[in-house]
Structure 1
Amino acid sequence: MKPSTAAKKLEVYLEATPAEFQEGVVSRDELNALQADPPQWLRDLRRNGPFPRQILALKLGVSISGLARGGITEALTSDQVEEIKAACPDWLRRERAVQVETLKEAARLKQRKAD
């Protein structure tokens, strides 16, 4: 598979991975090995970032669209995420509220469909 696909499955930011990972092809067996016994570079990326958008969104409690509306377009590290959380800017509070309402509505619709 392409390195971009493998990075997405590993939930890491492709540009922060080692050059040999970015330039190569990753087999399913190699991907499984990386997931089962991650090398140090993968553990470091998962712990400290920089993180891809989907992980940033989870860490901040907003949607990926909310990140864009908040002006977050680049990958951020753990320290940068913590700074944003500590500052709790208006956009973050607003987007967290939107996310909560979206999740409530999704749960309501799921319950309605189940009934």
Structure 2
Amino acid sequence: MSQVMKPSTAAQKLGILLSAAPEDFQQTPISREDLDALRENPPQWLQDLRRNGPFPRDVIAQKLGVSNSGLARGGLTDPLDADQIGELLANPPQWLEHERSVHRKVVAENERLKAERARQGN
């Protein structure tokens, strides 16, 4: 018997917003085989969601180059589509520029610490 997951888990693994997926996807548990099939040969609705959104928080944060917390501090709580993200990137508000700077510093510090731990371990 194949393992199944909740639609919300499958949506998260696919990087899509569950509420934007078709009703049958939202209501049906997904097997690992079905998930793999969706990844390998995505139907048109999945291709459209991945390209145009609306996107979940973690995808929005990644596309904007900020953390999930940075989105919250910036007041972004609703899903955004590709056009809205494009507008933010084309004309970044001050909070976005600040959060991108903070995020870059955090990532750089994490890389520095990782390299330091690797040196100490050798």
Q: Give the aligned residue type for 1:114.
A: A
Give me the whole-angstrom Cα distance separating, in 1, the residues matched to 2:78 and 2:32.
28
Deviation at 1:86, TM superposition (A): 1.6
Unaligned runs of 5+ residues in structure 1 are none
Match of 1:114 among 105, 114, 118: 118
Unaligned runs of 5+ residues in structure 2 are none
Match of 2:32 among 28, 34, 40: 28
Give me the whole-angstrom Cα distance separating, in 2, the residues matched to 1:104 and 1:39.
38
Give me the whole-angstrom Cα distance separating, in 1, the residues matched to 2:35 and 2:48.
17
User: TM-score, normalised on structure 2?
Assistant: 0.93
Deviation at 1:70, TM superposition (A): 0.5
1:39 alignment partner in structure 2: 43
Structure showing greater Rg: 2
Structure 1 residues 80-104: Cα deviation after superposition (integer angstroms, max 9, x where no partner): 0011112210000000000010011
Establish whether residue 68 from structure 1 lines up as the match of residue 72 from structure 2: yes
Give me the whole-angstrom Cα distance separating, in 2, the residues matched to 1:10 and 1:32.
10
User: TM-score, normalised on structure 1?
Assistant: 0.98
